[in-house]
């Protein structure tokens, strides 16, 4: 698990004596954009990142979660989606919209550079408590999805899979897809969970919010039993 050392007396360290409140997604506010991970806001508090190949339904999911259609622009301009967008959902709680990947038009060199940054972010970002990965339920676990899951698992980062556009499948096949995806990732144990989601039909909100609330209030980061903290 990511080390809590960065909270140790840091100027922005949340007060560990306070009970952490649940985030308010409906009050989400745009914080900042970064073109590179080194331009991220200070690494404090809690963060959950949303990732998925372009067109997976990421903007629609963030918009429907926050009830704000303008927050994460439903992506039409490829250039725009290359920014990492940070939204505040509480005093020390953030949602991060990672750029859509899988653009055929992006040169391999740029993709490679981006992938290296992404991997480092998953490994090094101390405030990152989990990764929500969005995949069209009709095309789950594409090669790059699997690579991302591999990086996250290596970094011991919990992953929640949103099988999006569930309204495009009828109930039986949707359920079957969910079972298949869970089965394929069973070797990762508790690190991975998965659910069906439809922004269009507002399906799966409650389940998603439960996961986000758990990650964004996880105060185990304040526990002082980490040997790295001991002199």
d(CA 156, CA 60): 28
Rounded to whole angstroms, the maximal C-alpha distance in the chain is 58
CB of 166 to ligand GDP, least distance (A): 7
3-class DSSP state for residue 129?
strand
CB of 145 to ligand GDP, least distance (A): 12
- Is the CB of 92 or the CB of 165 nearer to ligand GDP? 165
Residue 66 lies near ligand GDP (rule: CB under 6 A): no
CB of 100 to ligand GDP, least distance (A): 5
- Is the CB of 177 or the CB of 198 nearer to ligand GDP? 198
Residue 5, CA distances (Å) to 2, 8, 13, 43, 109 in order: 9, 5, 11, 11, 34
- Is the CB of 36 or the CB of 168 nearer to ligand GDP? 168
CB of 78 to ligand GDP, least distance (A): 10
Buried b (16+ CB within 10 A) or exposed e, 50-60: bbbbbbbbbbb
Which 42-61 residues touch ligand GDP, going by CB under 6 A?
Answer: 52, 54-60
Binding-residue total with ligand GDP (CB under 6 A): 18
d(CA 160, CA 86): 19
Q: Where do contacts with ligand GDP occur on this chain (CB under 6 A)?
A: 52, 54-60, 74-75, 100, 164-165, 167-168, 198-200
């Amino acid at each position: 698990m990511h080390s809590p050392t960065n909270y140790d007396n840091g100027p922005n360290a949340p007060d560990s004596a306070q009970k952490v409140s649940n985030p308010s997604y409906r009050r989400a506010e745009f914080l900042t954009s970064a073109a590179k991970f080194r331009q991220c806001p200070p690494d404090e508090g809690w963060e959950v990142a949303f990732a998925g190949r372009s067109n997976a339904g990421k903007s629609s999911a963030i918009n429907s979660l926050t009830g704000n259609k303008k927050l994460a622009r439903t992506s039409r301009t490829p250039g725009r989606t290359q920014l990492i967008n940070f939204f505040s959902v509480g005093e020390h709680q953030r949602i991060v919209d990672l750029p859509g990947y899988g653009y055929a038009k992006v040169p391999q060199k740029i993709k490679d550079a981006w992938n290296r940054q992404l991997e480092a972010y998953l490994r090094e970002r101390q405030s990152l408590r989990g990764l929500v990965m969005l995949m069209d339920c009709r095309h789950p676990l594409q090669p790059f999805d699997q690579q991302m899951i591999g990086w996250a698992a290596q970094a011991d980062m919990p992953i929640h899979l949103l099988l999006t556009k569930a309204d495009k499948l009828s109930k039986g096949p949707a359920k079957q897809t969910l079972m298949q995806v869970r089965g394929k990732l069973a070797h990762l144990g508790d690190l991975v969970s998965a659910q069906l989601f439809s922004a269009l039909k507002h399906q799966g909100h409650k389940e998603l919010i439960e996961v986000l609330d758990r990650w964004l209030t996880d105060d185990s980061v304040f526990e002082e039993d980490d040997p790295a903290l001991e002199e």
